[in-house]
Structure 1
C-alpha cells in the first residue's frame, strides 16, 4: 500500500507522505478511515498551527514517533490522555499545547508539496474560520 496521500484543506491541495516506518500503528488507524473528512481550525495555544479537536474519539493507539515541536508540514495525532484526542498540522513555529500544558503527538504525516501555501491556509483559518479537510489516498 502506498504511503502517498492527498491533503485537501480549504482551497489548497497538498501531496503528503504517511510516516508508516516511524508511526505504524497511527498510520494503520488513519488508513482505516480514508477518505477522512473533518474541519480544521486555527490552534488556540500552540502557535502557527491548525487543529482538529476530536473529544474522546479513540484511535486505538498510544504514543509513537511523538513530538511537541513539529516542523511546518508535519501532522500529529495526540491519542488522548491528559487532554482530548486531537490532531495538529504545523504551518509555522509550533509548540503543541493545550489548557493543561505541553502535549506530544504522533507525527504520522508529512506534507511534501506546496509548503508555501501552508501559511496561507493558516491565515485563512485564523481570519475566516473552519476549513474543510480531506485526507485521501493518492
Structure 2
C-alpha cells in the first residue's frame, strides 16, 4: 500500500493510493509526484476543492470512474486537450456531484485520505471564503496507515 503525505492549506493528511481500484491512474500519479499546486473551491460540484491542470494529459482511460466521490476521496478527471473539460484533480470534503459547465463528469478515484478527515470540513469553507490554498501531494517516507 502506497502512503501519501498531503498538505492542503494549513492542514496535513495521510492518504493511500487506490492501486487495486485504479492501477493505471495510480502509476501515472506516482510518476507525477511530488505534486505542487493550488486548490480552489469547485463551482458546480458541491462540497469539494479542485486543482485545475489544463491540457495535461496523463494518458489514462477511465478506471472505476465516479461522479459521487466520498469525503476524503481524490478523483482525477483525465480530460485534456479537446475534451469536454480540462484535466483536474478533485478532493471531496462533503456531499459532491462532480460536474463542469458542460454537465456531469466522472473521475478516477486514485487516492483516499485515511488520517485527518476531521480537518476536511475546515479546508472546504476556508478555500471558499479565503481563496486558493496550496496543495501538495507526495510519497510519505516511513509513514504507514496507522501513523
Q: How many Å apart are 1:83 and its aligned residue?
A: 1.2
Matched, 1:44 2:43: yes
RMSD: 0.8
Equivalent in 93, 96, 101 of residue 99 of structure 1: 101
SS of the counterpart of 2:127? helix
CA distance in 1, matches of 2:52, 2:33: 18
Matched residue count: 137
CA distance in 1, matches of 2:47, 2:116: 17
CA distance in 2, matches of 1:76, 1:116: 19
TM-score by length of 2: 0.91
CA distance in 1, matches of 2:26, 2:105: 19
Gaps of 5+ in 1: none
CA distance in 2, matches of 1:120, 1:77: 22
CA distance in 1, matches of 2:25, 2:36: 17
CA distance in 2, matches of 1:107, 1:30: 11
Q: Deviations over 1:27-63 (max 9, x none)?
A: 1111011111110000000000001111111011110
CA distance in 1, matches of 2:12, 2:88: 22
Which residue matches 2:113? Answer: 111
Matched, 1:85 2:87: yes
CA distance in 1, matches of 2:8, 2:113: 12
Larger mean CA deviation between 39-48 and 81-90 belongs to 81-90
Which residue matches 1:123? Answer: 125
Runs of at least 4 residues of structure 1 off by over 6 A?
Answer: none
CA distance in 2, matches of 1:110, 1:116: 14
TM-score by length of 1: 0.97
